[in-house]
Homo-oligomer: A and B are copies of this chain.
Amino acid sequence: MLRLYCGTGRMPVIQITLLKGRTLEQKRKVAARVTDALVEEAGANRAAVTVTFVEVTKEEYASGGVLLADKQ
């Protein structure tokens, strides 16, 4: 019954790819607000919202064809 409840909700999965270096507090707040947005705007079941952070280094991230490690 518990499981059924948990499992039947609508279940957004949010993957956030960002640069390493955010604090625990920053991730805490991002996770909370992103979840709020899905719950309040898209009718998601709060318990079922999953957020994962994929943290990359400046050597693992490029924009405009240039690694961040090579900028400035």
Closest chain B residue to A7, Cβ basis: B64
Q: A6-B47, A37-B37, A56-B53 are in contact. Are A65 and B31 (CB under 8 A)?
A: yes
> Are the C-beta atoms of A29 and B6 separated by less than 8 Å?
no
Report the nearest B residue to A37, measured CB to CB: B33
| Known pairs A8-B71, A18-B44, A28-B70; A50 contacts B33 (CB<8 A) | no
* Size of A's binding interface in residues, CB under 8 A: 63
Indicate which residue in B4, B39, B63, B71 contacts A48 across the interface (CB closer than 8 Å).
B63
Contact A30 B41 (CB under 8 A): yes
Q: A residues bordering B, Cβ < 8 Å? A: 2-19, 22, 24, 26-39, 41-44, 46-56, 59-72
